[in-house]
Structure 1
């Protein structure tokens, strides 16, 4: 069979050429029923729009697809700003989609990018998103926030960040340090950061006092009361700034200014509202720019590389 054109797909679907074009461009005005029907035909016939068709639409530069987990994540938005800043400098086009930690949504977005002949892909990884799902796109994909051995990936020094906070507190003579984190099912922000706290306590003969929950400020607020059940608590380390918002709010309401709070993230709003909070930063904007640089290298050479973003105080 000769290679199908967009006109052929339109006839097979019983719709106009413009409708197929709008589906390919993810136009929200297309009804979900029509969209799914057109995508099913496209998948059945393995249709891919030609480069010339892309050029006619004015898309001559490289196009990068970006899959974030949450558009309302302050940390991911700082990484995203780094990505977009570098893409703008290069004159690249981009698509941004959201996975909401849904593996099936990631697969849908990847398939959509493939149909549009996206030149490169940047994916924000999360626990549960296995390497196997991403590997078919490994020749043009960079993952952020998770380490994938067979993929080009940028990840954070989660254990080192918690260790740096604890070392600072220890040097300042804090000895009853609580920890508020998220469930260990999340490997990086959850398990690795919690384990770093536990390892530090064991190495320095400190009594651990840890509570784990969801990744939001309400969890931080609620779990602070549990941490303070140990009456000698003089500091609390939070796995993220989101948790620290809740912790600081609880302590403020209780008029407890005797407890030092630390967190990972360096959120500007947190520093404005609670300037006494000690934060550590991964250099998220820089991580976004580095992701683009790794992608450019991958597309040019095919060489897969890894980059660990260190943490530091600012």
Structure 2
């Protein structure tokens, strides 16, 4: 049986009073009689009603708070998205609580429960890890998921496979036939599994021999694992900016720099590295859209919306 999400209007109807009276009880207005307060509070307790903290906060009743669950704070892409989100939230005078899941589904469930206990009813979840829709649907408040598509949950997601294909296609058009790939472990559903699968699909379609290594999401991993790619390769594709930075360091030390493509943008790389192909994945756009969708929910629009963020190839 589906749990009912009670509103102030529902409570007022059950108590046979006006919504304003229920609001005064919730806000501890001393003008409400003790008898009325007890009557309304008893109904609130019996149905487990929890007021929408974010919506009340937007009306100036209390401090607005939004919970944000990121995968890893050292991810370049997530950091860009988070930075855009924070700017948009601060503009609305909303305070974020930021926690890290480290690609662990159980941690996501734990953080959602923690937010519930603290009466935080609006959250943004970065969905790079394999994330069950069942876990997310247990959340009864406002929610937007970033990076993953869900049919029944509002989300802002990327074209991971299309982006890798576009970069491979550009390298292929330049005449490269031995293209190495530095990717992320499959425990990362989007940056990892989906991007790697796109690389492998391109290789199969164009009869290229795959040459790839999967590793962690940081610069040192890119440096260490670039050496593990089979030789020779005449171009390199990196799944993330962090891996690209590490790979460039390795290739320059080996004096074997070659054309390199990656998802993301890094001004220093673009300034110092020749023959570089970067791709604006829309991280900042995703952050702004996620906040906009969340604000719509806070203000009463509960329509599920999915928005695909487009990328731009440089």
TM class by shorter-chain length? 0.7 to 0.9
Query: 1:124·1:143 contact (CA, 8 Å) conserved in 2?
Result: yes
Deviation of the 1:84 alpha carbon: 1.5
Q: Which residue does 2:113 correspond to in 1?
A: 111
Q: Is the 8 A contact 2:237 2:262 kept in 1?
A: yes
Could you say if the C-alpha distance between residues 141 and 289 of structure 1 is closer, same or farther in structure 2, counting changes exceeding 3 Å? Answer: same
Contact 1:138 1:151 (C-alpha < 8 Å) held by counterparts? no
Q: Write the distance in 1 (CA, Å) between the matches of 2:292 and 2:52.
A: 27
Verify: 1:247 aligned to 2:213, yes or no.
Answer: no
**Cα drift, residue 71 of structure 1:** 2.4
Equivalent residue, structure 2, for 1:211: 213
Paired with 2:269 and 2:72, the residues of 1 have a C-alpha distance of: 19
CA contact (8 A) 2:259 2:274 kept: no
Please name the residue that 1:125 is paired with: 127
Matched, 1:185 2:187: yes
1:260 and 2:259 correspond: yes
Flag as ranges the 4+ runs of structure 1 deviating above 4 A. 46-51
Distance 1:204 1:50, change over 3 A: closer
> TM-score, normalized by length of structure 1?
0.75
Partners of 2:75 and 2:231 lie apart in 1 by 32
DSSP 3-state at the match of 2:81? helix
- What CA distance in whole angstroms lies between the structure 1 residues aligned with 2:304 and 2:191? 24
Deviation at 1:167, TM superposition (A): 1.3
Paired positions, count: 262
Any unmatched runs of 5+ in structure 1?
1-45
**1-structure distance, mates of 2:293, 2:228:** 43
| Gap regions ≥5 residues in structure 2 | 1-47
Which whole-Å CA distance do the structure 2 matches of 1:118 and 1:265 have between them? 32
1:160 shift after superposition: 0.8
Question: What is the CA–CA distance in structure 2 between the aligned matches of 1:239 and 1:116, rounded to whole Å?
Answer: 37
User: What is the match of residue 150 of structure 2?
Assistant: 148
TM-score, normalised to structure 2, is: 0.75
Q: Give the distance between the partners of 1:214 and 1:276, measured in 2 at CA.
A: 25
- What are the within-5 Å matches in structure 2 for residues 53-64 of structure 1? 60=62, 62-64=64-66
